Amino acid sequence: MVRASRSDFCMKATLPEPSSPRPESVGAGMLEIPQISQAVENVLAATPIIDVHTHLFAPSFGKLGLWGIDELLTYHYLEAEFFRSSHTKPEQYFSLSKRQQADAIWRALFIENTPISESTRGVVAVLNAFGLPTDRLDLTEARAFFQAQSLDSHIQRVFGMAGVSVVVMTNDPLDPEEASVWLSGACEHPQFRAVLRLDKILRYWAVNWQALAAQGYNVDAQASGKSVAEVQRFLFNWYKRMRPMYMAVSLPDTFVYPAKTLSNYLLAEAVLPACRELNLPLSLMIGVRLQANPALRLAGDAVGRADLSSLENLCRTFPKNRFLVSVLSRENQHELCVYARKFSNLMPFGCWWFMNNPSIVEEITRERIEMLGTSFIPQHSDARVLEQVIYKWSNTRRTLAPILSNAYRLLAEDGRGVTRNDIQRDITRLFRSNAESWMNLNGH
């Protein structure tokens, strides 16, 4: 059993230190109300973001890392929209090559229709960011551009354009292709940090316990005998390999805790104790209805409203565990805010998946600022393709600027003005230090 020494891991969640001491009087460096929105835009633009949840991979993971125009166009968000604007049936589409799929999506959503949806606008924004035409009938020029890029320098350029310093990956230790990279000693990359994703263990034990057994762990289908200790040994070994920022699992809208299920048993007896031992938060992404339409494959998942009293029970029952939580249903957002006011071991993060649309991001973020101040993590990109961070973060900055400016204007009208330092401290907390203090992110 690995014993965690304080120097190895980030300290317990602590409130971030103020970035600079406040001037003696409120007058010093105070912004006039008309100056606030420009100051907010400048600080947002200049503050590099920690992207706490993505499906991106460091270069050493090879083809697992998706980038370029064909991957951008065959993103499952666009596939879902494609099947609404084309007569092509899913089975026909999935029999095409990636290139043919991208051509079909470009024709249907960008030529035969106006790309005004959030996801199609995203592709236009990426092409435009690289100075590429956004209205060509075919993808020849775009493909030539991306083919000419070398990955390492392209990553730096993309992270610079997106204003992102670090992205947090989603790593599945039971995915054979990915596991083989880790087991062959994948080299650490300072800008791509790992996460131990546990869906296969916590949601699909029946079909995955053998994979643990194949890695040499003495577990069985009922998770009896030594299984709990062996799952912990598995987590500690993968902790040493990945140095993950947190452990994570996505949960259905039907998730109930407590309930006599093998999944809850492994959660309470193996995963949460390991998280405490390793001083890692557990991320819960709650509310997905997987494969509502299996014919659409990755694009076939949907959303359901969850009963968040299960989250209440977890936060109360495991006060020494920290829970990073994102909920998929719009109807669950307010409850999550209220629970965060009840439990300081609960950190709301991001506007996940179907929530990641400017109109809904605005609603959720305003509510969170009104109820939580700056004690939450506003957004994550969930990027599956490298260049997506460019538009997902420019959208977020564009949506958050007026919300923050409005909050400061209201504060000034209520009798207390703000300085640029205040704005910098708050934005640093929202997009960096909340994540740093909650995750194993020190020294990045």
By CB under 5 A, which span of 264-272, 378-386, 398-406, 424-432 interacts with Zn ion?
A: 378-386
Distance from chain centroid for Cα 427:
18
Q: Is 253 in the site for Zn ion (CB under 5 A)?
A: no
Distance from chain centroid for Cα 269:
26
How wide is the angle at C-alpha 324 spanned by C-alphas 323 and 325, nearest 5°? 105
Question: x-or-dash pattern for ligand FIX, window 47-86, by CB under 6 A?
Answer: --------x-------------------------------
C-alpha 437/C-alpha 433 separation (Å) is 6
- In the list Zn ion, ligand FIX, none, the entry touching 432 (Cβ below 5 to 8 angstroms by class) is none
The minimum distance between CB 384 and ligand FIX, in angstroms, equals: 5
The minimum distance between CB 285 and ligand FIX, in angstroms, equals: 5
- In the list ligand FIX, Zn ion, none, the entry touching 298 (Cβ below 5 to 8 angstroms by class) is ligand FIX
Tokens encoding 384: 């599956």
The minimum distance between CB 407 and ligand FIX, in angstroms, equals: 27
Among 80, 113, 353, 412, binds ligand FIX (CB under 6 A): 353
C-alpha 357/C-alpha 116 separation (Å) is 12
Site for Zn ion in 46-105 (CB under 5 A): none
Residue nearest Zn ion by beta-carbon distance: 382
The CA distances from residue 442 to 66, 248, 258, 311, 345, in Å, are 27, 19, 34, 27, 19
Tokens encoding 222: 């009922």
Nearest by Cα to 428 from 378, 393, 387: 378
| Nearer CB in complex with ligand FIX: 55/200 | 55
The minimum distance between CB 166 and Zn ion, in angstroms, equals: 16
Site for ligand FIX in 290-309 (CB under 6 A): 298
C-alpha 399/C-alpha 361 separation (Å) is 7
The minimum distance between CB 293 and ligand FIX, in angstroms, equals: 14
The minimum distance between CB 402 and ligand FIX, in angstroms, equals: 25
Among 73, 78, 219, 285, binds ligand FIX (CB under 6 A): 285
Alpha-helical (H) ranges within 318-419 are 333-342, 358-372, 388-413
| Nearer CB in complex with Zn ion: 52/231 | 52
Q: Which residues of 106-130 are buried (b: 16+ CB within 10 A; e: fewer)?
A: bbbbbeeeebebbbbbbbbbbbebb
C-alpha 53/C-alpha 194 separation (Å) is 10
Phi/psi at 217 (nearest 5 deg)?
Answer: -100, 135
Angle between the 227-242 and 176-183 helix axes, to the nearest 10 degrees? 60
Q: Going edge to edge, which strands form the sheet with 164-168? A: 49-51, 164-168, 192-193
C-alpha 254/C-alpha 131 separation (Å) is 46
The minimum distance between CB 250 and ligand FIX, in angstroms, equals: 4
| Nearer CB in complex with ligand FIX: 31/328 | 328
Among 71, 79, 230, 382, binds Zn ion (CB under 5 A): 382
Site for ligand FIX in 364-403 (CB under 6 A): 382, 384
The minimum distance between CB 280 and ligand FIX, in angstroms, equals: 17
Contact footprint for Zn ion (CB under 5 A)? 382
Residues that bind ligand FIX (CB under 6 A): 55, 170, 250, 285, 298, 353, 382, 384
